[in-house]
Structure 1
Amino acid sequence: MKLVVHVKLLPTPAQATALEATLRACNEAATHASAVAFAKGLKNRNGLQKEVYADLKEAFGLSAQPAVRVVKKVVDAYATLKVNLQAGNLGPATSRRYRRAVGSPVVFRPEAAQPFDDRCLSWQYDARTVSVWTVDGRMKGIRYTGSPDQLKTLVTYRKGESDLVCRDGKWFLIATCEIPDPQMYEPMDWVGVDRGIVNLATTSDGTNYQGRRLSRYRRWQAHKRTELQKKNTRSTRRRLARRACKEQRHATHVNHRISKEIVSIAQRTGRGIAVEELGGIRERVRLRRDQRGSFSSWPFHQLGQHLTYKARRAGVPFLEVDAAYTSQRCPRCGHTERANRPDRDHFRCRRCGLAGPADVVAGVNVRDRARSAWAFVTMPVPPPVQPEREMRPVTVLS
């Protein structure tokens, strides 16, 4: 499996200036190559490279390998755009967003990330320094730091490209690591996980991870943004820029913590993890105006991604099951009815009288569906039955 490791660079002022100039030059070159690709319809790497390679080296001061990486970056951007258009992520073909995306070339921000391969960037693990190509020449001895676990993963499994990123005046390298998949064990049972807005995750064991603190934090952040936007001064704009990604980082931290605990419990007890398949739920559900903000900021997809890769890294079996009626079905008698859930927090079966927390009941239903799905997947396939041959009479000649 592939993971990325973020390490923080500690450049000197002169090194930071060279890195900034390099990012700007590479992104200006990428914007130029993107305009050529859009005008001439060149979306393949070889054709675009033949068209713009000389210009990138002469006009933007790029060396041979950085120019090749810029072309690859442009081709990947158009491939990503094509996939998003086909998946409908930009709306229908008649929407304004769709027409704007296909009607103009892709533009790269001056501070956008730039990929470097091993010819442009080398790592000195013992000294904890990197050597990076810049427009001012090869910049050696740039120090980096990170957590002990990140540094160990970097030394052992790093392979492929590394992205140079500047975020809020700080420099980072995002390195790709290929970690071998551990052997997945046969689960003794399953931990069903129900994801929600009020309760971010509820397991079939009854463990509840509430989202009340995260919702309160989001409301506080929205209130502070409103206050700063009303003042509209240079100072408040700087503060808004510093706070831009703070809320997102906090939500990511919460999802990491929840997913890590669920995976560790499943691994310790020899069970697998089962979650609901919630793809496309934003398009299927219609909400009141006062609910749209909390629903659009619901981080269920990120929590599912964290559970997926952490379970895979730990060798824990992971399944996604059908989410239909998991909160309305009785796990004891199977009776399914909307009236079984009279309110958001409680479940009470109208047939057999089973009662309990609604999210725990949904987690139990997810667990039961995972049991059935795993039994069906691992069911041994019987050998095909050979048809009996028809016995024909044999004539014996005397």
Structure 2
Amino acid sequence: MKIVAQVKLMPEADQAAALRSTLRTVNESACWVSAVAFERGVPREYELRKHTYAELKARGLGAQTAQHVIKKTRDAYATLRANIRAGNLGRPGSKRRRKAESKPIAFRPEAAQPYDDRCLSWQYDQQTVSIWTTAGRLKKVRFACSPDALRMLREHRKGESDLMERDGLFYLIATIDLPEPEVFEPDGFLGVDLGIAHIATTSTGYRAAGRGLNRHRKRQLDLRKKLQAKGTKSAKRLLKKRSRKEARHAANVNHIVSKTIVTTAERTGRGIALETLTGIRDRVRHRKDQRTTLHSWSFHQLASFVEYKAKRAGVPLVYVDPAYTSQQCSECGHIDRKNRIDQATFACRSCGALMHADDNASHNIGRKGETVWIAGRESRVPATP
């Protein structure tokens, strides 16, 4: 399985200036290549190289870097076409789709630039890298990462690494190719109900409250409103500084919750069952004052964290249809909309079972997970002689 490790570079002042200048140069060149590709109808990579390679070399780029700039540009157009085909940019003729199709793709000055092993080498013992720049090869550029990330880099790093700048700091995003452990045969499934009031509720009784995260988001939203209304230079500077604070906090909470879920499943020998929530924002109807909360809900990120952590641990994971999981009684199976009294309370009108609504839904999801696992498992009936 492939994951990424984020490594923070700690360059000296002159090294930082060279890295910054390099990113500006390669992204300006990528914008020029993008304009050529757009003018010529986005040709294949080999044909695009014939029209741009010589000019990129004349701009001071090395041979490998020029190739990467061309490939990066071509990949960006491939991604754009895939999004158009999938309908992610709206229907044909929509304003958003017309805007995307009417001009060349542009690259930010600090956008990521891929480096292969010819342009970048790692010295793990010294925790330094040697990296190509437009000012020449920089050697002994220090980097910092956790001991676990350093071990994975040393043992499993493979392929390209991306250099990027964010908030004045430089990072290398390295690809790690980890061997996948064999998935064990589960003894039942741990159902996970995702929500807003409670981020996640499992059928084992674990409940991750969302109150703290929702309060944090409310504070950030109120602060953004005040700073945007003020509109001064210092307010704009503070807005930029805090732009990703909420996202970082939410990602940290999701990492903690997902690790707890996967660790519990691994310890108890169970699999994990998650709801398929694709398109939930289009299906669910909320009042106007609730829409911000719904669209800030990072359920997809939490599910992806659970998925890759489960894969690393060899824990089976299945996705189930969430239909009626909140209306069905986990004790007797009776389905009725009136079973759900309010957001937190479930009371079965058939057998009288009374429990927390999220607990009930998690048990239903876990039971569906077992059904999905059995249905997808290979038949173990001996072959007829």
TM-score with structure 1 setting the length: 0.95
Which is further off, 40-49 or 178-187? 40-49
Per the alignment, residue 85 of structure 1 pairs with 84
CA contact (8 A) 1:259 1:303 kept: yes
Shift in Å at residue 383 of structure 1?
7.0
1:138 maps onto 2:140 in alignment:
no
8 Å Cα contact 1:121-1:132 kept in structure 2: yes
Q: Counterpart of 1:34 in structure 2: which amino acid?
A: S
The answer for the alignment partner of 1:393 in structure 2 is none
**Matches of residues 77-156 of structure 1 in structure 2 within 5 Å?**
77-156=76-155
Matching residue's letter, 1:66: T
Rounded Cα–Cα distance in structure 1 between residues aligned with 2:39 and 2:298: 39
Q: Give the corresponding residue for 1:20.
A: 20
Separation in 2, partners of 1:57, 1:249: 39
Partner of residue 7, structure 1: 7
Which protein shows a greater Rg?
1
Q: Deviations over 1:21-60 (max 9, x none)?
A: 10000001100111111110134211111111111111x2
> Is the contact made by 1:31 and 1:106 (CA closer than 8 Å) also made in structure 2?
yes
Match of 1:205 in 2: 204
CA contact 1:43–1:78 (8 Å) conserved in 2: no
User: Is the 8 Å Cα contact of residues 329 and 336 (structure 1) preserved in structure 2?
Assistant: yes
Paired residue for 1:261?
Answer: 260
Query: Which residue does the alignment assign to 2:309?
Result: 310
Matched with 1:52 is 52
CA shift, 1:272, in A, is 0.6
CA–CA separation in structure 1 for the residues paired with 2:57 and 2:355:
68
- 1:36 alignment partner in structure 2: 36
Alignment of 1:224-235 (within 5 A): 224-235=223-234
Q: Which runs of 4+ in 1 moved over 4 A?
A: 381-386
Give 1:333 deviation, angstroms.
1.9
User: 2:286 — aligned with what?
Assistant: 287
Q: Secondary structure at the match of 1:302?
A: helix
CA-CA distance at 1:381 after TM superposition? 6.0
Deviation of 1:285 after TM superposition, in Å, equals: 2.0
Note the C-alpha offset of 1:156. Answer: 0.8
1:170 Cα deviation from its structure 2 partner: 0.8
Aligned equivalent of 2:222: 223
Fraction of identical pairs, as percent: 52
Q: Secondary structure at the match of 2:18?
A: helix
Once the 2 structures are TM-superposed, how far is the Cα of residue 377 of structure 1 from its aligned partner? Answer: 2.1
1:197-243 per-residue CA deviation (whole Å, 9 max, x = no partner) reads 11100001121101100000000011111121222111111111110
Aligned alpha-carbon RMSD (Å): 1.3
What residue number does 1:241 align with? 240
Q: How does 1:321-340 map to 2 (within 5 A)?
A: 321-340=320-339
Q: Write the mapping of 1:301-380 to structure 2, written as runs, cut at 5 A.
A: 301-378=300-377, 380=379
Deviates more, 1:225-234 or 1:348-357: 225-234
CA separation of 1:379 and 1:33: change in aligned 2, threshold 3 A: closer
The structure-2 alpha-carbon separation of the partners of 1:383 and 1:314, relative to structure 1 and needing over 3 Å to count, comes to closer
Matched with 1:252 is: 251
- Partners of 2:65 and 2:10 lie apart in 1 by 22
Mean alpha-carbon deviation: is it higher for 340-349 or for 376-385?
Answer: 376-385
Partner residue, 2:193? 194
More moved, 369-378 vs 49-58? 369-378
Bigger drift between 63-72 and 34-43 goes to 34-43
Residues 327, 100 of structure 1: CA spacing in aligned structure 2 closer, same or farther, 3 A cutoff?
A: same
Tell me, in whole angstroms, the C-alpha distance in 1 between the residues paired with 2:283 and 2:383.
42
Mark the runs of 5 or more structure 2 residues left unpaired by the alignment: none
Kept in 1, the 8 Å contact 2:42–2:77? The answer is no
Q: Deviations over 1:169-199 (max 9, x none)?
A: 1111110010010111100111100000111
Per the alignment, in what secondary structure is the counterpart of residue 66 of structure 2?
A: helix
